[in-house]
Structure 1
Amino acid sequence: MVTDGDAGASSAAEGGGGYGAGPQQAKKSNRQRLLRGLQRISSSPSLALSRPRASSSPYPKHGTLSCVSLASSSSPFGQPSVGSSYFSHISTTDGSAPTSVSGSSTPATPGCDDDESTLAIRKVKHLVTTSTVAALPVDIRKKTRVFNLWASMPYEIKIHVLSFLQPKELVRVSPVSRDFYKTCFDGQLWTCFNASEFYKEIPAESLSKIIIAAGPFIKDLNLRGCVQVEQGKLADVVVKACRNLINATLEGCRNFHRSSLHTLLKSNQQLANLNLTGLTAVTNVTCKIISQSCPHLETFNVSWCKHMDARGIKMVVEGCPRLTDLRAGEIKGFDNLDVAQAIFETNNLERLVLAGCTELNDAALKTMVHGVNPTIDILTDRPVVPPRKLRHLDLSRCSQLTTPGVKALGYNVPDLEGLQLSGITSLTDDALEPILRSTPRLTHLELEDLNHLTNRLLSEHLAKAPCAPILEHLSISSCGDLGDAGMVPVFRHCTNLRSVYMDNTPISDLTLTGAAAMVRERDTVHPLPQGSLPQVGLHMVVYDCTNVAWSGVLEVLSRNTGKIWPAIGASGTAGPPSEIITLKCFYGWQMTVDEHTKRVLRGDVASALRLERKWVDYMQANEEVGAGGAGGRRRRRRLRETQQVHANEEELAGAATGRRRARTAGCSMM
């Protein structure tokens, strides 16, 4: 019979010691029992753990955790750790585990020794390493799809989205994918092909590829200045691909072969606008092909085509009844009366540019306007012919024209809006008087280098002409006899002027004052809205005018800052006007004028006024230095002080705008 005491003794003996072993031996027994239990748990395949190795782990392969150890440096049992922790022992990929702990000098045994050696790791067979990512169930997996927005988008929407990109951007995004490549080079995106904006940044191969892909869709083709056309066979590619052109610009393609050009013209019968400026391949034969193959032509530009003459123009005018815009600058043979008669009979031209046609004479011009042997009205002594439909006429540098020839335009061009007669040096007032009286829609008038014109033409005819209230642009540059007597009445009556060129004329400060008064008068009608910035209302060119002094320029600057503007604020300074005057004047003052204008345009009136005062001080001191008599040293000292103050002002302005001007010995703005 076993007593309770015997049972307790037996249990103690099984633990490795009797009652006499003491508390330390009991602790060892409990620890051994716990470790054996953990070993049995870790050896079970059903509890095998698997996890991916951390990104910072030095081991190259994944493994399976095979054992858990409680042994560490901070063990509650007070025992030092042997080797590394059991958490760091990872089995290899085939499921085997090391038989001993790294760093242990004692061989592994199934039990535990008295010297606290580590337990042997039991090998686990048929252990399969599982994936670290759990797969979705099959039913859910079938319902889940990767949604590709671009692939699922309708093709028409793709084209619309890509249509917002510029040509250079389309070429850049084309390599993204095959679908992008196919869509980016779709002809619908290239119906308007303007290579003049990016031809310097795109290789000839890409340009050819675009033209080949988009050729049937291209309606507007602009190869202006495109040097790639001169390389390889790009011209032939253009000819073969483009069959539906409506607008074509080949200006600057000097090496375009004649045969390629003729083929292009024959294959595009819907051409409405054709620009062949400067092409050496253009001849009278080319004009004949155009007259036969392009009946819908409306705009034709062959300026500076030196291998053709006015006979080609005659064929185009007769074969293209819809032609309204003809530009044939510097073309020879316009003294031919047959050509002039053909232009008269069509009477469809709204724009005629014959600038530089030195062979055009009075007889040919009269024939273009009156025809041959017109009927003369005995009351008015004018030819009875239908009025011309011309709206813009450019006869600049037609040196053989004289007053009788230009006078024939009077009362025969009622719709004229722009007239350029610059360089016809023999013209007088008599040539322009009937034109000004009979052109109520005239807005642009250029009369440069006409030394026989007088102030009477401006004061009595232009200022009182029907077109005076709507005249916008006037150029009288290098007209030596036109001055204040003519221009002051013009500024008083032509209140809609936007640009006036008066360089190299005898005008003075009085004309600038009249211009400032005219713009001020416009401000009373259209005041500046609250919170808005002023805009440029008038541009004047007055350089090389010996009678214009700095006081006249100051009058314009003061007008721009609103010094004498009637709307005075509470602070006592005037607000800026709604329109200002930009001025191109003597080069020594130009930098100051430009800086003053920039400050006014950005609304910094106080800074503009400060610059204006400093410039006045500088100019006055400069004049005093130039004056003779006593006090020269004092005046020079005052000039140096003024220059220093002006330099400081400009340095502050430069710091405010993020830049600094370099100082020089003179005025920094001069």
Structure 2
Amino acid sequence: MSDNHTEPASIDAIVHSPPESMPTTPAPEQQPEHYGADGGRDGPKVKGHKRLWRKVKRMTSSPSLARMGISTPDFRTGTKGSISCISLQSSPTPFGRDCHNNISPFAQCYPTAPTSAASTPGGNAHLFECTRPLTRPVGKDTPVSVGLPVELRPTPNADVVVEEVHDYFSRPVARAKEKKKNVKFWEDMPFEIRLQILDHLTPQELVRCSAVSKKWHAMCFDGQLWQTIDTSDYYRDIPSAVLKNIITGSGPFVKDLNLRGCVQLPQDWTSAGVVDACQNLESLALEDCHIERNSLHALLGQNNRLVQVNLCGLPIATNAAMKILGKHCPRLKSLNVSWCSGIDTRGLRWIVDGCPELEDLRAGESRGWDDLDFVFSLFERNTLERLVLAQCDSVTDETLMRLVWGPNPAYDYLAGRYVAPPRKLKHLDLSRCRNITDIGVKALAHNVPHLEGLQLSKCTDLTDISLKELLPTLTSITHLDLEELGHITSASLQALANSPARKHLKHLTISYCDSVGDVGVVPILQQCTQLASLEMDNTRISDLTLTEAATLLQARNRAAAASAIQSGLTSSTPLPTISLRLVVYDCQNVTWTGIREILSRNSEYCRMAGPVPGAPEIVVGPTHIIHVKCFYNWQPTVEAHTERVQKGDFKRAKRLERLWAEYMRMNEEATATGAGRRQRRRAREAQMAHADEAGGAGVGGSRRRRARSGPSQCAIM
């Protein structure tokens, strides 16, 4: 070959040729090496760890070993190197330009194919050198790396946060995450919200929660939670010390105080006790309490915001307490002084004069109602909506006439009655007022149009004359009590069934009305569709009344089924509920057959036509049932049947009804058969006695007649 042509250098020569700028060290004598069959070089064969170390030297590179703290092996010792020895350290490029362009750094700085030494500009010394470090400037137009979507990223540890730096050669840096602070949910909650939560607890639960800690104790006995103290459910179980602490601790906040039946506070009403603590009461109930008279007067005198006061059955309540109440409590609307022997109309006069907003007055078993001047003051006030005068023997016909008509009523000759401004009474209780007659009750006609409840039980002198005139005028009556009116008949009930009140009547009591029968009760069941309770024990009703009640029940169930079909709720029919209560015990004409009729209708399905003509028939379970209180021997069966119906178990209810009917039928047959046997036995004994008297021996007459002498001859006479 000519001198001008140079052979291309091998890759090993290019790699191991030192740059011109770097000083070279003289190399030792090198022996030619050749590759053997095992991939190693020829020459002295090495074995064991030396052979392994030679392979490791070929595979490793100096930068990686430098980072690991291992000295870089010298590959330029006369042997051939490999591409693994190439240093990736930044060096100036021989091409006079940066490596930061659109071509990758490896494509700019490293050749991808072997070239000759002569054709390479600049020589081999600067082949792998760059003028600037391999950095990548990030600008506005430079594309940045895009991370994985959130759903594909690995979940980091709870205590480690990975900080991502958008750089080409950067790695994620893990740093410790600050632990969340321990959130104290209950302590960080506002105090008002905590009170709202505790307000849903019962008094017993609040007392139990107060034992948790001192903070809970102060919070559970905060006065805002005890604005209403009603001990009617637990007055027997609460100790006096706890009750006193509750009242005294929340005294200024208490508005409704009900201490009915609390007899454990006889010594705690004095100063520095309940009386001094409660000064903002609006409702006070001391029924059947043990309290001193001075404490009662002090309690009534310092609470001028009282609206409701209940002193029922309090023996220490007198007219002096009524005087204090009338002077200091002008906002009073409801007062209950029934069974207070120390209060009469002289004390109630202070209430009527000093409380212009009085609406509810309950003064059962009080005296002085024959004082017509006091009754006239009630007539002039005309604010009462409820007046309870139960068992007041001083109430007479003149009292009722003065209460309704006033002293000088005008007479309407066309209507034939006295005319007066209508009363606002909605509930009037005259039960056990034995001095009332038809004259006083007739005065109520046309003068109490808003009356909803009337109790005339045990007014034994009342007859049909007054009731037939009064009942048609009560257009809004819902509760009517006519118990033990022995002189009334079915005519009064017929007048009630034909009156406008039939649409509103819900509760009717005619117990111990011996003259009332099916003729009066059946029209009530037919006309009074809203009837919910009918007490008619000790009357002359029969199974016909129970059959009519079952018909009323069937009509209600059909109406409910039709409403359910129109609404499309037939698939979720509610469980039956009691809509009518009947009391029929001690009625001689009521038999088990009538009771069975009620039980049968209670478990009977309603079959209704479909909403579209031609649609299949729809079967709907009963919605309303009747509860019967009957003969004590039948009552357990009735209760068991009603319980099964209310649970929706109609099959078991029908089975119980069938078995009970079979039992009652067999019992009647056994009773009838036994009576016939006894009658036949008695007939045979009578026949034998007659045969003896006739001188025969039984039926054949073969025996002789016995002689009868002595006292036995005059036994029949």
Q: What is the TM-score with the length of structure 2 in the denominator?
A: 0.66
2:284 match = 248
Pick closer, same or farther for the CA change 1:631–1:545 going to 2, 3 Å. closer
2:652 to 584, 590, 607: 607
Aligned pair 1:581/2:626, yes or no? yes
1:506 to 523, 526, 540: 540
Give runs of aligned pairs for residues 278-427 of structure 1, distance below 5 A: 278-427=313-462
Pick closer, same or farther for the CA change 1:179–1:384 going to 2, 3 Å. same
1:560 match = 602
Q: Runs of 4+ in structure 1 displaced over 4 angstroms? A: 140-147, 231-236, 567-575, 629-633
Q: Which amino acid in 2 is paired with 1:588?
A: N
SS in 2 for 1:176: coil
Pick closer, same or farther for the CA change 1:352–1:629 going to 2, 3 Å. closer
SS in 2 for 1:598: helix
Pick closer, same or farther for the CA change 1:629–1:395 going to 2, 3 Å. closer
Pick closer, same or farther for the CA change 1:232–1:191 going to 2, 3 Å. closer
**Does the 8 Å contact 2:210/2:216 carry over to 1?**
yes
Aligned pair 1:541/2:566, yes or no? no
Task: Tell me how far 1:383 sits from its aligned partner.
Answer: 2.2
Task: Tell me how far 1:414 sits from its aligned partner.
Answer: 0.2
Unaligned 5+ runs, structure 2? 1-175, 679-717
Q: Which amino acid in 2 is paired with 1:209?
A: N
SS in 2 for 1:279: coil
SS in 2 for 1:372: coil
Pick closer, same or farther for the CA change 1:234–1:608 going to 2, 3 Å. farther
Task: Tell me how far 1:495 sits from its aligned partner.
Answer: 1.3
1:448 match = 483
> 1:622, 1:572 → 2: CA distance?
40
Pick closer, same or farther for the CA change 1:148–1:384 going to 2, 3 Å. same
> Residues 239-280 of structure 1: CA distance to partner in whole angstroms, max 9, x if unpaired?
110010011111110x21111111111111010011110111
Q: Root-mean-square deviation (CA), in Å?
A: 2.5
**Does the 8 Å contact 1:507/1:548 carry over to 2?**
yes
> Residues 187-223 of structure 1: CA distance to partner in whole angstroms, max 9, x if unpaired?
1111111122223332211111111110000001110
Give runs of aligned pairs for residues 654-669 of structure 1, distance below 5 A: none
Aligned pair 1:592/2:634, yes or no? no
Q: Which amino acid in 1 is paired with 2:297?
A: H
> Residues 64-103 of structure 1: CA distance to partner in whole angstroms, max 9, x if unpaired?
xxxxxxxxxxxxxxxxxxxxxxxxxxxxxxxxxxxxxxxx
**Does the 8 Å contact 1:271/1:296 carry over to 2?**
yes
> Residues 422-470 of structure 1: CA distance to partner in whole angstroms, max 9, x if unpaired?
00001011211232121111111110000111111112x1110001122
SS in 2 for 1:175: coil
**Does the 8 Å contact 2:388/2:429 carry over to 1?**
yes
SS in 2 for 1:538: strand
Task: Tell me how far 1:568 sits from its aligned partner.
Answer: 10
SS in 2 for 1:216: helix
> 1:443, 1:328 → 2: CA distance?
23
Task: Tell me how far 1:578 sits from its aligned partner.
Answer: 1.3
SS in 2 for 1:526: helix
2:473 to 430, 438, 460: 438
2:503 to 469, 477, 494: 469
2:670 match = 625
The structure richer in helix per residue is 1
SS in 1 for 2:246: helix
2:687 match = none
Give runs of aligned pairs for residues 197-216 of structure 1, distance below 5 A: 197-216=233-252
Compare CA radii of gyration and give the structure with the larger one: 2
> 2:365, 2:508 → 1: CA distance?
24
2:38 match = none
> 2:348, 2:662 → 1: CA distance?
62
> 1:494, 1:293 → 2: CA distance?
47
Task: Tell me how far 1:234 sits from its aligned partner.
Answer: 6.8
1:86 match = none
Task: Tell me how far 1:164 sits from its aligned partner.
Answer: 1.8
Pick closer, same or farther for the CA change 1:250–1:624 going to 2, 3 Å. same
> Residues 34-65 of structure 1: CA distance to partner in whole angstroms, max 9, x if unpaired?
xxxxxxxxxxxxxxxxxxxxxxxxxxxxxxxx
SS in 2 for 1:587: coil
Pick closer, same or farther for the CA change 1:381–1:152 going to 2, 3 Å. same
Q: Which amino acid in 1 is paired with 2:511?
A: S
> 1:285, 1:309 → 2: CA distance?
11
**Does the 8 Å contact 1:484/1:511 carry over to 2?**
yes
Q: Which amino acid in 2 is paired with 1:583?
A: V
Q: What is the TM-score with the length of structure 1 in the denominator?
A: 0.70
**Does the 8 Å contact 1:248/1:274 carry over to 2?**
yes
> 2:258, 2:364 → 1: CA distance?
21
Q: Which amino acid in 1 is paired with 2:641?
A: H
**Does the 8 Å contact 1:235/1:256 carry over to 2?**
no
> 2:180, 2:545 → 1: CA distance?
81
> 1:235, 1:556 → 2: CA distance?
62
Q: Which amino acid in 2 is paired with 1:611?
A: L
**Does the 8 Å contact 1:208/1:234 carry over to 2?**
no
Task: Tell me how far 1:582 sits from its aligned partner.
Answer: 0.4
Aligned pair 1:484/2:518, yes or no? yes
Aligned pair 1:178/2:223, yes or no? no
Task: Tell me how far 1:407 sits from its aligned partner.
Answer: 0.9
Task: Tell me how far 1:364 sits from its aligned partner.
Answer: 1.0
